[in-house]
Structure formats: structure tokens, C-alpha cells
A and B are shown apart, each in its own frame.
Chain A
Amino acid sequence: MTATRPARPDEAVLGVAPGAVAEPATVEEAAEVMKGCARDRQRLVFVGGGTDLGVGAPPAGVDVLLRTGRLSRVVEHSPSDQIVVAEAGLTLAALQRTLAAHGQRLGLDPPGAEQATLGGIVAANAFGAHRTRFGTARDLIIGLSIVRADGTAARGGGKVVKNVAGFDLPRLFVGSLGTLGLITSVTFRLHPLPEASATVAVEPITGGQARALVVATREAQLEPASLMLLAGSGALRLGVRFEGFGPGVRQQTGRFSGLVQAAGLRGELLDEAGAEAFWARHEAARTSGAVRVRLAAPPSALEQVLAGAVAPLAGGLGQGWAVLDPWVGCGFAGGTPADPASAVAALQRAREALVALGGSLTLAAAPPAVRAGFDAWGAPPAAVEVMRRLKARLDPEGRLAPGRFVGGI
């Protein structure tokens, strides 16, 4: 059995100190840790890079913190089949470096790639600006290996992109936040690195204009790789990135610029440094602030989202920012509130507005004073009873990240 060590103070999970820490170096060792915990009926929380530990609620208790960082091997990369199998603790940046050497990439770009691990990205369903084009982990995962609460190692999916044999365990684990089992390896489909990439920035722009531009872009049959509205102090700014082969990218940026002009707006085709700065600013926003939330609502509701959610958050969170993907209908907001009570009030208002639109607001980071007044998930979804039954089947004793998930799961 892998030895555990005492937890350091900075290893507390949302204020809950673990009894001990295990850092298995192999999948077999990880399974041993899980078996040991099953035998001793210990509660576990899994940690990868720790970049998204603020998602969800604090665990009810942690006897053993299992860190996946040493499970960091690329198990198999087949460039000609455009798939990669990698252990869960490998960081996204390390994976992307391996893939880039073969002209490929994983179409996921959440912030903090140097720390964020593949297992953590899948468990937290983390994503970045490339979601417009590639979707989320759900759209790219094709296989995974897990260890169940009772220590049983199992696998779902496979190594080929097209495969419908058996139930879809890989996708079921996307966003499960370590409550269904330990993810030990993941298999993704890959995409080629684009030959060309170009970003057009539109500033200033209002919510209404941004929505109209999104509709016009779709009607013009353009296919943006990223489309992001940045809201900070001052005016809104829209960035649109096109990727592909040179001629396609040139034509798409040209036509998009035409749409911008026709709408009476000012667009600028950014040079390489400018584009890099724009997306870096997007990423910096996403990781700043003591309070951070994820937003979702139908894309057509962009103006209501800005007025009903982003505006109150900007006021209540202090130095608030928001980034919204108006193509998909998702986004993030955050800030560092001076006073927890006004933050809670703003969060509540924003959540009510989003829920009324059919969307949601969930916490991605918050200090205890804010968490005390604001539930991380909000009202449980319609199917929460089925979710409880699923949890009860895979983790009957409720030992995996207890209380972290929706509805107290």
C-alpha cells in the first residue's frame, strides 16, 4: 500500500483539512490507495493541479487527499489516428507540447494549462475560448480508465473516435467532480494545429450589437474558432478568431470585417502580438478575483444576461469582469468584493436572472464568507433523484468527495 503523508496547510480543500495525503506514482498504486480507503471507510478527495478546486461546495470531510500529479505519462499518442491516451495527472501544457511536435493539439484550452491536469479538466468540465469550435471535454473524450470507490479498476469507451459499444462512461464522468470515481487515464481525439489563425477585435460594442453580429456571422456561414465578449471596466470588446488554412482564414476574416463595417462598428484585424495579447487578457480575466462564477444561458439572451447578471455582478463583486461566449451561451464572471454581503446579494440577483432565462450560475471560486450565504450550485436540476441513484450505485457509502456536488451529492 502506498504510504500517505500528513497534509500541508495549503492542501485544505475549501477550508477542509485532509487527514492524510497520498501521491500514487502508478495506476496500480492509485487502486491500492482506493482499496485501502474502502477497507477503512475513509472519505477521499482527488486533486490534480488544483486550478478548479473552487468549483462546487466544500467536502463534508476528507480523510485522504489523493493527488494525481505523479500519474503523468503519455501512454500512447498515435498521430496518424489522431488520438492520445494519457494519465490523469499529466498537465494540459505538457500534453500540448508533446502533441505540437506532431502538428496536433487537443481542442481544449482552459486557463492555467501549466497546472491543470487532464483528469481535473475532465472532472471539472473546464474549457476555454476554443469551446466555440471544439465544444468541451464531452465532445473530445473517447475513453477513460477509472478506479471505483471500492477499488475496482474499470474502463469505458476505447481508442477509436467512433465506438458505440456499451454505455458511455467517459462522457458520464465529464463534470462529475470526483464524486463517481478516480479518473486514472483519459483518451482524447485530437485535431491538427491550424496553418493560420487570425483575430479581429471589435470595440466598442454593445450587447445588442454583439448579438446582431453573432447572428450575421452565422447567417454568413462563417465558422469562428473562438468568439468572446470581454466585459471589464469601460466598454465591451468582442474578439473573433478564425483558424484553418491560409486562404480560408483570409476569406473569413475579410468577410467578418465586412459585417462589422456594415453594422457601423469598428473592427481591427490584430497582428500576432495583438491577438496574443487579446487572448491573454481573456485568460487573465478568467483567473483573477476572489469570487468567480460560471454562467450559462441561451445565446439569444445575451442582452438579458448582460443586464440581469453581468451588470449586478460588476457592481457587487468589485472590479468585476466577465467573459461571454455569445455563440455558445456560456461565460464566466468574477471580481474581488470588498464586502461579502453585497457579493452574495449580487450573486443571488444574477442567478435568479439566469435561471429565469433557463440558464444557470455556479460558483468556481469564493471565500468562506461568500459561500456561507450562497450555495455553489443553486436549486438542483430536475433529474437530481436519478443522479443520487447513480451516485449510490457507484459510491454506495458516499465516500468520494462527499457533499461537493449538486444537491449535496
Chain B
Amino acid sequence: MPESHAEIETDELARRMSAVVGEAHCISDPAGLSVYECDGLSHGRIRPRLVVLPASTEEVVEVVRLAHDAGVPLVPRGSGTGLSGGARPTPGGVVVALSRMRRVLEVNLEDGWVRLEPGVINLDVTRAVQGRGWYYAPDPSSQSICSIGGNVAENSGGAHCLKYGFTVNHVLGARLVLDGGEVVDLGGPSPDTTGYDLLAALVGSEGMLGIVTEVTLRLLRKPEATRTFLATFPSSDEAGEAVSGIIAAGILPAAIEMMDTLAIQAAKAATGLNWPEVGSILLMDVDGPLAEAEHTSAAAIGIARSAGALEVRIPVDEAERQLMWKGRKSAFAAVGRLSPNYMVEDGVIPRSEIARVLREIGRMAGEAGLRVANVFHAGDGNLHPLVLYDARNPGEEEKAAKLGGDILRLCVRLGGSITGEHGVGAEKAAYMADMFAPEDLETMFLVRCAFDPEARFNPDKVFPTPRLCGERPGPYRPHPAEAAGLVERW
């Protein structure tokens, strides 16, 4: 008999959960719980009732059954690095942390895939196979800490997704535990499994369909050559023009990253790089077979120069190349050196609008009396404006949040998106209605209902207004012609 969660005592729930995962892996003390109050987005903390850390699919199934019977919501969690509050606990709910499920189960380089548990850290996938010249392509900046389960849930991207695609292009299969404990396998290592592409629905579903307990990922052979260069520009106008020119020339770079003055200052402060404090920097990788990489990199440098590059730097060795990328990848966190507080935004615009949008963001920031640092994936128009503020000044945090929201709406107005890789989560649910009509959201919600009709998993995320799945659809009613015996269903 299902009980509502008001009825079941937390102590009793903890006892039942402990019996499944072991007492050491069921956290109920306030200090232990406080670690799980939020993800990478530190405001809006909510203390979970319990945190459980199962070690296997079987344990996840038991945990889900217990929660189902007790009517308690569950929030899956990987490494907790999400930036949209996706792993933020639901009030009264239990967090299911997958961090103990970290085994690489099977590597098959004949067919180029790896099967692993969801708690495996992104970078560890590549580490497991790089000795043999292979790698896992999606490379979020958080790749040394974020989990594959989180990547699947967020459809994470990274700098090199411009050429190689996002998580969804690299997930071949998944094992999913649904409410009630049903286990389903979606996709698999062989191409073209029959039926609906449920895997596509799962990737990017932000933990709302079930708990992923196994993932099969496609691996790639490392490209033969990578050519990197950094170009400096007086302003983002010229840098934006260079990006457009490179793409128009038919070049598909592995990555093109852009940073503005504030972001450059932050990266320098964090890494000691000797970058000039110019208006804009582009950092670009091209890769592929040697001659192709050589040719496209020379062509791209030519385009950057004619777009007005002040200087082009080519790393002399792999160490210098790594340093350039370190500068880029540390820019996020480094912004903390410029300001006591900052908010990370994640919007997408059509690539051709980059220069115009950056000017507009500058104008909006000026009006709000705030500073915005921009560091982003220019090749696919994925902006990461970092809104700097000081929470000690009354009203400034609200102003920063409003500016962030205005930037997202600007992205939508230009035909872009409110999120390119961080997800909607708890943070951006309110903006979904700016991007989608009620009918669009309803259709997505129907998909959710097909997997999780009682909203067991992450119930209060993504959708702007909480809903119920309503009546379960009734049994099939025969078509009148069928009932009359005129046609047959087989």
C-alpha cells in the first residue's frame, strides 16, 4: 500500500534504505546531508531527507521500490557539478547519489565502445583507453570531476562538440531504472536497434525519467594531428567576423573559443599566462588527418589576420598548447578573482549574431551598473556570460539575476536557446515559457509521463509549472469500423 511521504517517518525510511545500501551508505545526519543541499549552483539550498548511495543496479531497483511504496520523490545525483540546480533536492525527497557506481565494465575497441557505471568521471573514460590511441569526445570543462550519468542527463557539451557533437551523439546504450523498479535497456552497442529512439529522449532529460545505472559510450580513434592557435583582436567585432569567416570558408574547426577583456584578465590572474589584455581572444583547434589539419589551420589563420587580428600565437609544443587551453578552461572559476560573486549564464545565439549580441550585453550591463565577463564556445554560438556582482551590496544580487534573465530572453528573441549545455534544471524552468509554447511543453511532458507517470524522479525541474500526468490513458478502444467487424487489428 503506497503511503504519502507525510506519513512515513524519516527514521523508518532510513531503516528501510539502510537495509538495502548498508548503513554506511545511507546518510541522515545534518552535517552529512548538508553536502547534498545543492549542486554547482550554490544558491537555493534544500536539505534532503536522506541521501542513499547504492552500489549496483539491484540496489537502485530496491531503493526505487521503497521510495515508490512510500510515495517519496527521488533526485538522482552524479558529481553535483550541474549548473542549473538539476540535482538540487526536492523538499521531502531522497537523493540517490551514484558516486559509488564507478566501474568500467567492458571495453571493446574492436567496435569502439565502452560500457560503464554512471558514476565514472568523464575524464576517466578517456584515461581508460588513451594508451591505445582512443578517447571519449565530449569534453565539458568540468570533465575531471563530472560523472557520465550527469553528462547523459544534461546532454553535456564541451569545447570540441562543435566538430564532434554532444553527449547524445556518443551514447549508444543505457540501462534505466523506472519508477516501481522496472529495469529497461535502451539502445546498445550494435547500430540501429529497432523501435523508438528512447535513448534520445533519455539523453538531456535531466534526471526526470528514471535512474541510469549503466551507459554504453562510443569511443573515437584520436585524430592524427591537432593544430592550435590563439589570435588577439581589438574587440569582439573583429573576432566575431573571424569566426564567421572561418565557418564560411567551409572549415569545421574542432573548437573555437572566445574570451573578452574581463575573462582574459581573470584567466591571466589564475594561471600567470602572458596574454595581452586585448578586447578579445580566439582560441582555436583544428584536427584530423595531418594535411587536412595543416591546411585548415593555415587558412583559418589567414582569415583571422584579414579580419583584423593583432597577433597570432602558435604554441611551440604540447606543453604550451595545454597552457593555452588551461587559460581558457580556468576562466570560469578565475572570474572569482575579479568579483566576490558571479552568476554563470548559458545561452545560445545564432553564430552570426555574436558581435551584435556582445555589444548588446555590454550595453545592458552598463545600464544595470554591473560587469559581465564573456567566455564562450563561439563556433556554436554558446555564450557563457558571467555576471559579476557583490552580494554584500543590497539589491545587487537581484539586479544580477535580472540581467542574466534579460540576456537569456535576448538569446530567445534572436532565435537561440536559454541553455546550450547546462540544462534547465530548477534555475531556468521559469524561462521555458519564453522559448516554448504551452503545447510544446505539454508534448514534452507527455514524454515524461510515458516514463514516469507519478513524477517520482526530480519532480520539480524543467517544467515551468508543476503538473500531474492526469488520467492514465484508457485501454484501447476499437475503431468503429473495427467494432463493426469491417477491419481487423492484428
Give A contacts to B, CB under 8 Å: 41, 43, 60-61, 63, 78-83, 103, 125, 135, 138-139, 146, 148, 152-156, 158-169, 171-172, 174-176, 180, 191-195, 218-223, 244-252, 255, 294, 296-300, 328-330, 357-360, 362, 377-378, 380-387, 389-390, 392-394, 396-399, 402-403, 405-408
Assuming A164-B204, A166-B424, is B197 touching A174 (CB within 8 A)?
yes
Known contacts A60-B487, A78-B350, A156-B440, A167 near B197 by CB under 8 Å: no
Instruction: Tell me whether A251 and B291 are in contact in the complex, defined as CB-CB below 8 angstroms, given that A299-B111, A383-B185, A386-B198 are known contacts.
Output: yes
Nearest CB of A to B107, in Å: 13
Asked whether B415 lies within 8 Å of A159 as measured between CB atoms, the reply is yes
Among the listed B419, B443, B477, which residue makes an inter-chain contact with A146, where contact means beta carbons less than 8 Å apart? B443
A255 to B349, CA, bound (A): 40
Q: Is the CB of A169 within 8 A of B444?
A: yes
Distance from B410 Cβ to chain A, minimum over Cβ atoms (Å) = 13
A166 lies within 8 A of B449 (CB): no
In the complex, whether B389 has a CB less than 8 A from a CB of chain A is: no
In the complex, the answer to whether B292 meets A247 with C-beta atoms within 8 Å is: yes
Contacts A60-B489, A160-B415, A171-B168; is A362 near B444 (CB within 8 Å)? no
A68 to B192, CA, bound (A): 26
Report Cα–Cα, A164/B351, bound state, in Å: 17
Contact of A139 with B349 in the complex, beta carbons under 8 Å = no
**5 examples of A-B residue contacts, CB within 8 angstroms:** A164-B420, A165-B418, A172-B197, A393-B447, A393-B450
5 smallest beta-carbon distances between A and B, as pairs: A248-B292, A171-B200, A192-B250, A251-B291, A221-B224
Inter-chain contact B352/A80, CB cutoff 8 Å: yes
A81:B352 contact, CB within 8 angstroms: yes
From known contacts A80-B248, A298-B111, infer whether A219 and B221 are also in contact, taking CB-CB under 8 Å: yes
A163 / chain B contacts, CB cutoff of 8 Å: 348, 416-417, 419-420
Nearest chain A residue, comparing its CB with the CB of B244: A80
Assess whether B352 is in contact with A78, with CB atoms less than 8 Å apart.
Answer: yes
Q: How far is the CA of A298 from the CA of B477 in the complex (A)?
A: 41
- Determine whether the beta carbon of A403 is less than 8 Å from that of B489: yes
Q: Whole-angstrom distance between the alpha carbons of A329 and B112 in the complex?
A: 11
| Residues 402 to 447 of chain B near chain A (Cβ within 8 Å) | 415-424, 428, 432, 435-437, 439-444, 446-447
CB < 8 Å neighbour of A245 from B224, B296, B348, B423: B296
- Specify the chain A residue showing the minimal Cβ separation from B291: A251
Of all chain B residues, the one with the shortest Cβ separation from A245 is B295
Which residues of A are found within 8 Å of B380, using beta-carbon distances? 160-162
| Total A-B residue contacts, Cβ distance less than 8 Å | 293
B421 near A221: Cβ-Cβ < 8 Å: no
Given A163-B417, A300-B111, CB of A154 within 8 Å of CB of B437: yes
The residue that A386 contacts in the complex, of B349, B351, B451, with Cβ under 8 A, is B451
CB distance from A214 to the nearest CB of B (A): 11
Q: Decide: A165 and B295 in contact? CB cutoff 8 A.
A: no
Contacts of A402 in B (CB 8 A): 489
CA–CA, A67 and B336, complex, Å:
57
Query: For the side of the interface on B, what is the size category?
Result: 35 or more
Q: In the assembled complex, which residues on chain A have CB atoms less than 8 Å from the CB atom of B155? A: 164, 168
CB pair A156 B443 closer than 8 Å: yes
Given contacts A247-B291, A383-B185, contact A176 B196 (CB under 8 A): yes
Q: How far is the CA of A83 from the CA of B435 in the complex (A)?
A: 18
Q: Which residues of the partner chain B approach A191 to less than 8 Å between Cβ atoms?
A: 252
- Cβ–Cβ contact A252 & B447, under 8 A: no
A328 touches B191 (CB 8 A): yes
- Residues of B near A219 (CB, < 8 A) are 133, 221
Q: For the complex formed, measure the closest distance between the CB of B72 and the CB atoms of chain A, giving whole angstroms.
A: 23
Which one of B43-51, B93-101, B356-364, B478-486 contacts A?
B478-486
Q: Verify B289–A251 contact, CB threshold 8 A.
A: yes
Establish whether residues B482 and A172, one from each chain, have CB atoms under 8 Å apart when the complex forms: no
Does the CB pair A195–B250 fall under 8 Å?
yes
Q: What CA separation (Å) do A383 and B186 show in the bound complex? A: 6
| Contact between chains at A80 and B291 (CB < 8 Å) | no
- The answer to whether A393 and B377 touch across the interface, beta carbons within 8 angstroms, is no
B190 CB within 8 Å of chain A: yes
Across the interface, do A152 and B442 meet the contact criterion of CB distance under 8 Å? yes
B244 neighbours in A (Cβ, 8 Å): 80
B273: which A residues are within 8 A, CB to CB?
Answer: none
> How many angstroms between the C-alpha atoms of A138 and B171 in the bound complex?
12
| A169 & B154 in contact (Cβ 8 Å cutoff) | no
Q: Please give the distance in Å from B109's CB to the nearest CB on chain A.
A: 10
Contact of B435 among A135, A165, A396 (CB under 8 A): A165
